[in-house]
Structure 1
Amino acid sequence: MKPGNTQPSRPQSAKAACLMLALGILLLTVSSVLGESLSAQMTGIYGLHQTHKITAVRQEDAGPAGSGPLTLAEMGQLAQYYLNGHDLAYGTKVSATAVYGNNQSPVQVLGVNDRYRQFHTMNLMAGSFLTPGHENQQVAVIDEQLARSLFGSGNVTGLEIELFGRKFTIIGVAGEDNSLTGSLAAQETGTVYIPITKLLELQEGSAITFLEAETRDSGTTGYNTAFLEEALTAVGQDPGAFRITDYTMEFLLLNQKNHLRNFLAGVVVLGLLFNLFKKNVREIYDFLGSRLREKYWGEIFRKDGGRLFFGLVKAVLPLGGMLALWFLIRFPLYIAPENIPQELIDLSFWADLLENRLKASFQGGGSGAFPGEAHLHLLQGIQNWNLLLSLVLGWPLLGWGLHRLNIPLNTPEKGAWKMELFFCACLIMALLLGTGILLAAGMPLASDGKGIFLVFAAVFLAAVLKGASIKN
């Protein structure tokens, strides 16, 4: 068989390699864009205080061993004494039926105080939200879904709906959240916001089940949680009966996955820079070895000093790049104390940790989820999958594609140039596609410049090394 008979398989191999490269670049670039967008989304959905808040949600299974339901008197004590200077929102959630004329619809009724909107972003289509003056009035703010279900229109301020057998005047209409997380976390039923005082008065057996307090960045891990636990204990409540979530730490953990993804990308670039350093050192070694066979050191410095100096600069540059890159990608890693075992090999610890994680995910995403918790768990889940896909698919596809890609042996310079041009085109297309995905999903546009730079650096260095290996 002639060697030429094997040539027809090369185009197919090249196409497969290019496809893997394109998919790898696409996944890595979109992962960087999406990861930063998720962080921006988290700071944008929690109102004026963003993620500077801590929440306490009474566990449904607290039982009689708990310290009793939260009361308005205890909320007053918290606001006046133990959480003085910290914005405070509280309320509860019940199911009911909203009635207007012959139309009725099942709804989720949130009884809240006037500070609730400071902790949750609400796009009011019409009217206003609850104010301190509405505390003892039968007024309601409904969402757009309920407005269109009952009235067929969003312009319903001033009209009345019936809840718990009483008439409530609509003072505002909250628009729908059409973002990706908003759509996934949306309730099947409409939502009505009424003053917490009226809900406790009209709904027998109801009690305050959640509270939110503004926090300040203390720089100390666990400070906010300990502060809220002390406040709850001071008013006679058992902190163990509540699910406490520090959103400052949750944002840190969410954003930490972006840093981790960039760190791993940086490690890849560090490896490529080290290979480039070895290649340049080898070139200097071979150059000196060939010259020393015919010349002395002095003659080499006189006649080939410029070339030798240029080679040394080429060898030092990757080292400088490695040092600068390390300062770019390093970050303080936070691991919650409860996730650190006493012994590394402790199967029971890891099994319990996994079980607790699963329970927490079901509690946070179930029907008993406190407003905002569903968004939090969705953001965490998407970010986890985003990181996982970039690690198990993005980098392997890119590496395997580079390994399979062939550059024509007769024109290595032209082949390397074409490969770099192909990489740039893929990066630009991936950026455009990632931006389009965010726009279509209603997510904030927030690009991770560091992550995109690291992907570009990785593919560029890989192309340089690939071209050099073929040339040599």
Structure 2
Amino acid sequence: MKPAQSAYPAYLILALGILVLTWSTVLGSSLPAKLAGLGGLHKANKITATWLSNSNQPEEGSFSLKDMRQLTQYNLRDYDLAYAMEASTSAAYQKNQSQAQVLGVNDRYDQFHQINLRSGYFLTFEQENQQVAVIDEDLAQALFQNCNVVGRKIELYGREFKITGVAGADRSLIGTLTDRGYCTVYIPAKILLELEADSRITSLEVETKDAGTTGLNAAVLETALASIGQDPANYKIIDYNVAGLLMEQENLLRNFVAGTVAIVILFGLLRRKIRGIYHFCRLRLRDKYWSEMIKGDAVRLMLGMAEILALVAVMLLLWKLIRFTLYIPPENIPDELIDVSFWADRFKNEIQAWLQSAGYVAPPGEVQLNILNTIQNWNLFLNIFLGWPLFLLGLYQIKLLKEKLLKVEVFCSVFMLAALSLGTTLLLIIKMPPVIETGEVLLVFSSIFLTVVTFIERRTADGEFISEKSI
């Protein structure tokens, strides 16, 4: 006699599918929150312009302190703005030395970036001409073997800088992935320009007052650049409002997939419920009039109609929950549906931008944004093309084994709660904000539950109003 096939592999595949679906939901919600957290006081309400170092006019393409003062006093006087430049040198204290990334910044830089000061304070406007520095805790440990170093001095470029603050290192997943392997020192931009003859102010950040997608933020910044004689084409401009919107949109798309699965299943149940009532009425009307059928089976018909109305209400509620307006950047939309020249120009512009940005070094904020976008893209891909296939494959194998519906439902419910707890714990471990959207979790749970009911126990899911034998 052939031994019974083990159900463990099928349940393992099912568990992996549920784990991927649950984890992608938890992680997806935390990524936009992390982006906002990395933006300091202004969060994602900022727009940046970074000099493409390989532009046609390399020296004229970067900013000067005079440009920054002009923007502050005139074109961008109603906006907070920060600017920065990068260099690298050796930081020393007595016999201890460590390679360091030096960021020359103004006093508003910490309002646009997450700089968690462990002690002291960030650079102030009054210290613009002073040799002061804020160092990170890694450099403090490397030079002093402790972090209580506010008021002490380090040597940069052969000069002494007084330490005014110590910034905590970012130990989160994003901080680890964007770590360049160097310690970080913040000093006034004016001082760095004096010490580094070849240094240039290459990055400008401006707060935004329009959270929409109208292009107003970019227009304001491009006008400001033109006012100081700069060509906006020589800069990479990123509106973080739009970047955050696009990142959140991937979460909405993931929710749309889960909700659509639930709606399709509910529509199947609705169709079968209506068909059941139709067959019931046809059978009753063979030997009864409408009035007799309604009088004798009023309760049964009322319950059937109530179930239909409930299914329709749930479908409408789900649709209201998952629908969203898809945003596509205007530069990616042709004027005509089929426009070969548009796509040819887009391809040519992409090639030109790639050639122009050869040697371009993204600033820290842009690197973090790129990492977050990459994680979010993979998160959506794995949710749709790994999570759902694994889940459905596991259900198919379990159906072949003729497992009981209640057993599968209990397993899915318990494992999803366990996966949700595990996902939250992992977020805390990798120091990502544990954002749990109740609506998103319920969407995934309802999609899983309805799929199990329909897939495993078809007759139960058919919702037959009445069987032929009962007539």
Tell whether the structures are fold-level matches, with TM greater than 0.5: yes
Partner of 1:64, secondary structure, is coil
Distance 1:249 1:354, change over 3 A: farther
| CA deviation map 1:292-351 (0-9, x unaligned) | 233222221111110011112212222222222111111111111222345558599389
1:8 and 2:4 matched: yes
Q: Determine the structure 1 residue equivalent to 2:175.
A: 182
In the alignment, residue 43 of structure 2 is paired with which amino acid?
A: Q
1:403 and 2:396 matched: yes
| CA deviation map 1:98-148 (0-9, x unaligned) | 121122221111010100000011111111110112111101111111111
Q: 1:453 aligns with which of 435, 442, 448?
A: 442
Distance 2:347 2:36 in 1: 28
Distance 2:357 2:280 in 1: 67
Q: How does 1:200-239 map to 2 (within 5 A)?
A: 200-217=193-210, 219-239=212-232
| Uncovered stretches (5+) of structure 1, i.e. residues with no partner | none
Q: 1:368 aligns with which of 361, 374, 391?
A: 361
Pairwise CA distance, 1:421:
1.3
Pairwise CA distance, 1:201:
1.6
| Uncovered stretches (5+) of structure 2, i.e. residues with no partner | 463-471
Pairwise CA distance, 1:359:
7.8
Q: 2:11 aligns with which of 18, 22, 35?
A: 18
Distance 2:213 2:448 in 1: 39
Q: Determine the structure 2 residue equivalent to 1:96.
A: 89
Q: TM-score, normalised by structure 2?
A: 0.91
- Residues matched between the structures, number: 459
Partner of 1:108, secondary structure, is strand
Q: 1:75 aligns with which of 64, 68, 78?
A: 68
1:349 and 2:351 matched: no
Distance 2:341 2:13 in 1: 38
Q: Determine the structure 2 residue equivalent to 1:141.
A: 134
Pairwise CA distance, 1:354:
11
Q: Determine the structure 1 residue equivalent to 2:372.
A: 379
Pairwise CA distance, 1:356:
4.2
Distance 1:354 1:269 in 2: 43
Aligned partners of 2:53 and 2:357 also within 8 Å:
no
1:434 and 2:437 matched: no
Pairwise CA distance, 1:463:
2.8
Over the aligned positions, Cα root-mean-square deviation in angstroms equals: 2.6
Select between 50-59 and 333-342 the one with higher mean Cα deviation: 333-342
Select between 274-283 and 108-117 the one with higher mean Cα deviation: 274-283
In the alignment, residue 422 of structure 1 is paired with which amino acid?
A: F
Aligned partners of 1:141 and 1:174 also within 8 Å:
yes
Distance 1:147 1:330, change over 3 A: same
Q: Determine the structure 1 residue equivalent to 2:318.
A: 325
Distance 1:323 1:404, change over 3 A: same
Aligned partners of 2:55 and 2:357 also within 8 Å:
no
In the alignment, residue 249 of structure 2 is paired with which amino acid?
A: Q
Aligned partners of 2:90 and 2:156 also within 8 Å:
yes
Select between 399-408 and 114-123 the one with higher mean Cα deviation: 399-408
Identity rate of aligned residues, in percent? 46
Distance 1:345 1:313, change over 3 A: farther
Pairwise CA distance, 1:65:
6.8
Q: Determine the structure 2 residue equivalent to 1:465.
A: 454
Aligned partners of 2:45 and 2:211 also within 8 Å:
no
Q: TM-score, normalised by structure 1?
A: 0.91
Aligned partners of 1:25 and 1:455 also within 8 Å:
no
Distance 1:68 1:417, change over 3 A: closer
In the alignment, residue 39 of structure 2 is paired with which amino acid?
A: Y
Distance 1:84 1:181 in 2: 33
Aligned partners of 1:407 and 1:467 also within 8 Å:
no
Partner of 1:405, secondary structure, is helix
Partner of 1:198, secondary structure, is helix
Q: 1:125 aligns with which of 118, 125, 132?
A: 118
Q: 2:386 aligns with which of 393, 400, 411?
A: 393
1:254 and 2:247 matched: yes
Distance 1:328 1:253, change over 3 A: same
